[in-house]
Chains A and B, each alone.
Chain A
Amino acid sequence: MLSFLKKPSDKSSASAAPMWHPNFRNFERLPDTKVVRTTFFINGVAILVATTLAIYVTYREVELNTLKADTDAAQQVIDANKPGSDQSVALFKKFQEQEKKIQELDQFLAISKITLSDFILQLGSTLPPSVILSSIDYRPAGVILRGRIKGSSEEGAGKADAYVNDLTKNSYFSELFDSIKLTNIVRDPASGEIVIQIDLRFRAQIKPTSGGKK
Chain B
Amino acid sequence: MSIDTQAIVTRVKKYPILVICAGLSIGFFALLHFRSDLAAKQQVELDRVTEAGRRYRSNVSNSVQLQEQLDFLIQANQAVKARALNAEGLAENLQYFYRLESEVGVKYRDLRPGNRVAAANQAAYVPINYTVNIDGSFAQIITFLKHLEQGTYFCRITSASASGGDATVSLNLNLDLLGVK
Contacts and interface: CB of A to CB of B under 8 A. Distances in A.
Contacts of B146: 117, 211
Contacts of B43: 67
Nearest to A40: B17
Interface string B11-41: 0000101101110110011011001001100
Interface string B123-163: 11101000000000000011001101111001111111111
B69 A95 contact: yes
A38 B74 CA distance: 89
B156 A111 contact: yes
Interface in A78-93: 78, 81-82, 84-85, 87-89, 91-92
Contacts of A98: 70, 73-74, 76-77
Contact of B15 (A42, A81, A111, A136): A42
A212 B149 contact: yes
A186 interface: no
A56 B163 contact: no
Nearest to B51: A74
Given A64-B42, A117-B145, A108 B176 contact: yes
Interface residues of A, number: 62
A140 interface: yes
B98 interface: no
Contacts of B18: 42-43, 46
Contact of B158 (A91, A100, A140): A140
Interface string A130-147: 000011111110000000
A91 B62 CA distance: 12
A115 interface: yes
Most interface-central of A50, A109, A137, A214 (chain B CB within 10 A): A50
Nearest to A109: B156
Given A50-B28, A81-B56, A67 B125 contact: no
A206 interface: no
B160 A136 contact: yes
Interface string A117-128: 100110000000
B39 A78 contact: no
B63 interface: yes
